[in-house]
Amino acid sequence: MTYNISLPFTKLTFSIGNTFCYIPMGKTYGAFLSLLLGTFIVILQVSNATMMNRTAKPAIFIFGDSTADVGTNTLLPESKARADFPYNGIDFLNSKPTGRFSNGFNSADFLSKLLGHDKSPQPWLLFLKTRSNMFSGINFASGASGLLDTTGKDRNIISMSEQTKQFKSYYSILAYSKGQEVANKLIAKSLIAISVGSNDIFDYFKDRSTVDPDVFINSLMSAYEFHINELYDLGVRKFGIISVAPIGCCPSQRLYNATGGCLEIENTFAQIFYSSLYTLLHKLSSSLPDFKYSLANSYEMTINVINHPQLFNLTSIDKACCGEGLLNAENGCNPKANLCSNRNNYLFWDLYHPTQYAYELAAITIYNGGPQFVTPINFAQLVAY
């Protein structure tokens, strides 16, 4: 199988079976070349089993916050965290707002595409109405949710605890309709993707919490461990975990820095979150039989883009494409907001969320990336188990 990938300043062609790689470059960029080689060497090493898994389209179950929400909050009449209005979805089919906090697709969609699906599986609340595509997976993610039940509670969203309960209900429906053996086999082979934690940190600073930072991070890890164990007890064995990005670099947070730079204290929390999660997952892999995981370092992936924007064809890394005021970050995306025309040149869609282009960059790295960005294996290798 041969791939042609066009990226800024380079074109690569390679074959998995024949391990053939072609990289014509008019100019060498050290950091970018290192990133490419680290990523694509791993791709070349992925076995034929991975390709077979892609063809088989394993189910994917998605948990987390607005980075993965594909319409859950739209189905919650009282939710205050929603994106079911323009200009959200302007690059989606028919420029339709879908509830995604994006100009088009988001991370859940691109990860699902890499597994062979057309887009993310449907939200749980929609599945309850349609009862269709049961074997493809379900998206439980809800914008503004966090690891803690208190996070986003005032915005009428679905917490992580409730998301895991919904998964348990899905398992019961599947086992009842198809049999427990079928249900157990499907769940064990499925990919579970979790993207959560940012809102917990945002709320910590917004509320000016006096809780000791170490105690706070430990509480997040305890909650994460609880949620993982709940899913594991239901038969989940493949966990794709996406850590917290440098959220202090979001346009909304740059407003709190007089220089317009990143809010480094929040970035420090994101780094500590990653290192704590790294330790937690290593511990769980030693104590839970057949537990497999892949941990994506969203912090390093995003900082790499912020530090080298020209290598990714980005012209704006600090300003929101859609919004109002300074950095387009004083108000969220709405039908009367300022809207950029060159959306593929922007890192941020609105004051918090990436553009469709940035989501795709992240998903490709998470799925096929090297150990500097995904450890101990990438998502493609995790699926192949």
Residue 178 structure tokens: 């198809």
Our answer to whether residue 350 is catalytic in this structure is yes
Q: What 3-state class would DSSP assign to 322?
A: strand
Q: How far apart are CA 326 and CA 312, in angstroms?
A: 24
Annotated catalytic residue within 102, 243, 252, 353 = 353
Q: Is 106 exposed, middle or buried, given 0-12, 13-18 or 19+ CB atoms closer than 10 A?
A: buried
Phi-psi region of 196 (alpha: psi -120 to 50; beta: other; left: phi over 0): beta
Q: In sequence order, what E strands does 65-161 have?
A: 137-139
Q: What 3-state class would DSSP assign to 258?
A: coil
* 48: number of Cβ within 10 Å: 11
Q: How far apart are CA 345 and CA 314, in angstroms?
A: 4
Our answer to whether residue 66 is catalytic in this structure is yes
Rg (Cα) of the chain, in Å, rounded?
20
Annotated catalytic residue within 65, 66, 190, 252 = 66
Q: What angle do CA 79, 157, 238 make, to 5 degrees?
A: 140
Residue 140 structure tokens: 């439980």
Contacts 24+ apart (CB under 8 A), 208-214: 213/269, 213/272
Residue 319 structure tokens: 């300003």
Please identify every residue annotated as catalytic: 66, 350, 353
